[in-house]
């Protein structure tokens, strides 16, 4: 197996302390948002054999296994991350596979440069993702019931919000959510900024359930995404709990440290809480306007000690092992490629010692045994 040397991305929303604390190193004072583990061309993990992208390219079937190559092509289909949010990320949504292919082909035909700020599709792949909390983790996920949002907005007693309250009481539910989001993102920017400022002041005065939106308004003053965020379920994950974000589900991560895994794609359409381009017509084509429970996931234990986060996605499969000192080794050998990531304690992986934040790539079929005292996450695929 190959020990990985991974890149940390310094996005502005990143925590300055969470990843250094996990790694046991001194903070640099700069934001450290995401540590990438995998073969994404933007920041591939480095190994003693070279960048993981080049290692896989040299012999895809040897590294990934024949079945994985047949199903996903000659590439690692997932990207594993440690994500550390010190400030809210943008409110966003991801396309399904068909939508991604259509959008990518359309933008290619129109000759939109890949680095153009108004380009939506960087590739032709979908981007389902899973976030598993390592600390308490706050986020927004999926639409809450329109009646509940109407009650939340009405409680602020802001005159300019009353038309949205009326819309949310309309039926059917899908049309109500669509109309409100469309109205928020299409409103006059100056008028909307005044509404957001009034809303933020009311939220600060009332506190309680309104407190999260005060922080959003602080980071994104006047942004319509502050009110759009109130359409969504507010979720507080405890360590070990997770959220699965499928296609069309609006979401945002607000604060906390977690392990994230996703299909290898960069396709994001933003709904707000961002200075970046918001393509309202394309966004409305992608968003799934259905209210429901955000579906907090807890791991399902198997007899061999593997705790699985079950999702309907084949490109990635995330699980964890809580290893106890003195217990026998766990055989993690699989016919698919794996990345093993230590998040607590000290784990032995075939002679290599992993401490928090350290990881290894295990080629398909390579013998992999782990032991020690700590927690290890396993990322692989389903074939």
Pick from 290, 309, 151: nearest CA to 237? 309
**Main-chain phi, psi angles of 349, to 5 degrees:** -125, 95
Element (H, E) at 165: helix 162-168
**CA distances for 25 relative to 324, 342, 367, angstroms:** 25, 16, 31
Q: How far apart are the first and last CA of the chain?
A: 21
d(C-alpha 160, C-alpha 204), whole Å: 17
d(C-alpha 152, C-alpha 8), whole Å: 38
* Marked catalytic residue, from 75, 144, 270, 320: 270
Q: How many helices (H) and strands (E) does the chain have?
A: 12, 21
Known active-site residue 110: no
Q: What is the CA radius of gyration of the chain?
A: 22
Query: What's CA 21's distance to the chain center, in Å?
Result: 21
Q: Is 47 helix (H, G, I), strand (E, B) or coil?
A: strand
Which conformational region is residue 208 in: left (phi greater than 0), alpha (psi within -120 to 50 degrees), or beta? left
| Residues tagged active-site | 270
């Amino acid at each position: 197996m190959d020990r990985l040397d991974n890149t940390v991305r310094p996005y502005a929303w990143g925590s300055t302390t969470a990843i250094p604390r996990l790694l046991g190193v001194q903070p640099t004072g700069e934001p450290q948002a995401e540590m990438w583990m995998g073969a994404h061309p933007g920041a591939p993990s480095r190994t003693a054999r070279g960048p993981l992208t080049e290692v896989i390219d040299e012999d895809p079937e040897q590294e990934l296994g024949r079945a994985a190559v047949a199903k996903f092509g000659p590439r690692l289909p997932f990207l594993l991350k440690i994500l550390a949010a010190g400030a809210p990320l943008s409110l966003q949504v991801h396309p399904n596979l068909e939508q991604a292919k259509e959008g990518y082909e359309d933008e290619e035909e129109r000759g939109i440069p890949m680095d153009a700020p108004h380009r939506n599709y960087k590739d032709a792949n979908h981007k389902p993702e899973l976030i598993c909390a390592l600390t308490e983790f706050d986020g927004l996920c999926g639409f809450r019931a329109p009646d509940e949002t109407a009650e939340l907005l009405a409680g602020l007693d802001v005159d300019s919000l009353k038309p949205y309250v009326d819309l949310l009481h309309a039926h059917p539910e899908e049309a109500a959510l669509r109309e409100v989001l469309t109205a928020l993102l299409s409103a006059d920017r100056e008028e909307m900024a005044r509404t957001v400022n009034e809303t933020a002041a009311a939220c600060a005065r009332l506190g309680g359930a309104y407190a999260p939106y005060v922080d959003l308004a602080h980071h994104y003053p006047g942004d319509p995404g502050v009110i759009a965020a109130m359409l969504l379920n507010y979720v507080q994950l405890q360590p070990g709990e997770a959220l699965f974000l499928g296609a069309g589900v609006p979401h945002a991560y607000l604060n906390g440290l977690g392990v994230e895994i996703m299909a290898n794609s960069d396709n994001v359409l933003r709904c707000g809480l961002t200075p970046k381009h918001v393509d309202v017509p394309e966004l409305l084509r992608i968003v799934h306007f259905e209210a429901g429970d955000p579906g907090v996931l807890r791991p399902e234990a198997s007899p061999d000690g593997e705790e699985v986060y079950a999702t309907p996605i084949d490109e990635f499969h995330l699980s964890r092992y809580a290893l106890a000192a003195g217990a026998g080794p766990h055989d993690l050998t699989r016919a698919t490629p794996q990345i093993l990531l230590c998040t607590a304690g000290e784990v032995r992986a075939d002679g290599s010692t992993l401490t928090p934040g350290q990881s290894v790539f295990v080629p398909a079929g390579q013998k992999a045994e782990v032991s020690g005292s700590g927690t290890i996450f396993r990322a692989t695929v389903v074939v």
